[in-house]
Amino acid sequence: MSKVISEKVEKVEQLAKSIYRMTIKSAYISENAKPGQFVNVKCSEGINALLRRPISICKVDKDRGTFDIVFQIKGIGTEYLAQKTATSEVDLIAPLGNTFNIDAKHEKIAVVGGGIGIFPLLYLLRELKDVEKRAYLGFRNKDFAVLLDEFEANCNVLNISTDDGSMGYKGLVTDILENDLKSCNFDIIYTCGPMPMIKRVVEIAHKNNIKCQVSMEQRMGCGIGACLVCACKTKKEESWEYSHVCKDGPVFWSDEVIFDD
Partner 1 sequence: MTENKPKMDVNIGGLILSNPVIAASGTFGFGREYSKYTDLNKIGAISVKALTLEPRQGNKPPRIAETPGGILNSVGLQNPGVRAFIKDEIPFLRKFDTAIIANIAGNTLEDYCEMAEILSREDIDAVELNVSCPNVKKGCMSFGNTTAGITEITKEVRKHLRKPLIVKLTPNVTDIKEIALAAEAEGADAISLINTLYGMAIDIHRKRPILANNFGGLSGPAVKPIALRMVYEVSKAVKVPVIGMGGITTGDDAVEFMLAGATAIMVGTANFVNPTACVEVEKGIENYLSMYNINDVNDIIGILELN
Ligand X SMILES: Cc1cc2nc3c(=O)[nH]c(=O)nc-3n(C[C@H](O)[C@H](O)[C@H](O)COP(=O)(O)O)c2cc1C
CB count in 10 Å sphere of residue 202 = 21
* DSSP-H helix ranges across the chain: 27-32, 76-82, 118-127, 148-153, 173-180, 195-207
* Residue 51 binds ligand FAD, judged by CB under 6 A: yes
Q: Minimum distance from CB of 52 to ligand FES (Å)?
A: 9
CB neighbours of 30 closer than 8 A, spacing ≥ 6? 60, 61, 62, 64, 65, 66, 67
CA R_g for the chain: 18
131 vs 229, beta carbon nearer partner 1:
229
Q: Which does 2 bind (CB under 5 to 8 A by kind): ligand FAD, partner 1, ligand FES, none?
A: partner 1
Q: Are 27 and 60 in contact (CB under 8 A)?
A: no
* Residue 221 binds ligand FES, judged by CB under 6 A: yes
Q: Minimum distance from CB of 227 to ligand X (Å)?
A: 5
* Residue 48 binds a copy of itself, judged by CB under 8 A: yes
What is the Cα–Cα distance from 223 to 94, expressed in whole angstroms? Answer: 10
Q: What residues numbered 225-254 form the site for ligand FES, per CB under 6 A?
A: 225-230, 244, 246-247
43 vs 230, beta carbon nearer ligand FES:
230
Q: Classify strands 188-192 and 239-244 as parallel, antiparallel or unpaired.
A: unpaired
72 vs 213, beta carbon nearer ligand FAD:
72
What is the Cα–Cα distance from 9 to 12, expressed in whole angstroms? Answer: 8
Which of 121, 137, 204, 220 touches ligand FES by CB under 6 A? Answer: 220
Q: What residues numbered 59-78 form the site for ligand X, per CB under 6 A?
A: none
Which of 6, 157, 227, 236 touches ligand X by CB under 6 A? Answer: 227
215-242 CB burial, b ≥16 within 10 A, e <16: bbbeebebbbeeeeebebebeeeeeeee
- String of contacts with ligand X for each residue 187-226, x by CB under 6 A: ----------------------------------x-----
What is the Cα–Cα distance from 184 to 133, expressed in whole angstroms? Answer: 12
Q: Are 209 and 188 in contact (CB under 8 A)?
A: no
* Residue 74 binds partner 1, judged by CB under 8 A: no
75 vs 196, beta carbon nearer a copy of itself:
75
The residues that touch ligand FES, with contacts defined as CB under 6 A, are 220-223, 225-230, 244, 246-247
Binding footprint of ligand FAD on the chain (CB under 6 A): 38, 49, 51, 53-56, 69-72, 74-78, 116, 119, 217-220, 250
